[in-house]
Amino acid sequence: MNPINDAGQLLITFIFGFIVFLFLLRILLQLCRVDFRTPIAQFVATLTNPVTIPLSRLIPRVGRLDTPAALVLLIAKWLELILLWVTAGVTLNVGGAALWAVAEILDLTVTVFMFAIVIQIILSWVSPMGGDPLTSTLRQLTAPILVPLRNLIPPVGMFDLSPMVAILALLLTRTLITAPMVSAGAQLALGG
């Protein structure tokens, strides 16, 4: 490949990846009812409000879903895929690229929850009291997954096994659901 194309693809991946991650995080923080007074939530809100607040005047929320943020998320991921393939000299089916973008977003969501749980586990070893903003944010973000599991799986001695079960369930979700969706979306987009 051409180094200029490689650099362009790197920039596209970095810039759009950051935008996608920010808007996905905004949606997840809201859906999981994370306290928006934490520094992490404030950071996400500060960077995403200039786009979502004007859009919210045109596009109403649907229940607890921040529809303007979801729309920006979908468009950003869709544009990323299209631009990456255009710079590689490949033409995409636009509708297939949209389905591919949705599948990639679902896969990223699973990945975010897996990393949040792993980071929370590591922080529990380093700072067991967990009074810092990161631990608080992660605890609130992962609560919809971990709290029901904690109610089902009692601790074994001092060990909470629910994070391991959650990670296993998320890995299975990724393997059985999101990975085949990403593959099918890519095939539709690439016309194969």
Q: What is the 3-state secondary structure (H, E, C) of the chain?
A: CCHHHHHHHHHHHHHHHHHHHHHHHHHHHHHCCCCCCCHHHHHHHHHHHHHHHHHHCCCCCECCECHHHHHHHHHHHHHHHHHHHHHCCCCCCHHHHHHHHHHHHHHHHHHHHHHHHHHHHHHHHHCCCCCCHHHHHHHHHHHHHHHHHHHHCCCECCECCHHHHHHHHHHHHHHHHHHHHHHHHHHHHHCC
Write the CB contacts of 18 (distance below 8 Å, at least 6 apart in sequence).
none
Per the document, the length of the chain is 192
pTM greater than the 0.85 cutoff: yes
Task: Estimate to the nearest angstrom the gap between the alpha carbon of 11 and the chain centroid.
Answer: 20
* Domain count of the fold of the chain: 1
Domain with 52, as residue range(s), is 3-190
Q: How far apart are CA 187 and CA 40, in angstroms?
A: 37
Average pLDDT across each block of 10 residues of the chain; the chain has 192 residues. List them in order: 85 97 97 93 96 94 93 96 89 89 97 96 82 89 95 88 96 96 92 72
The pLDDT value given to residue 192: 63
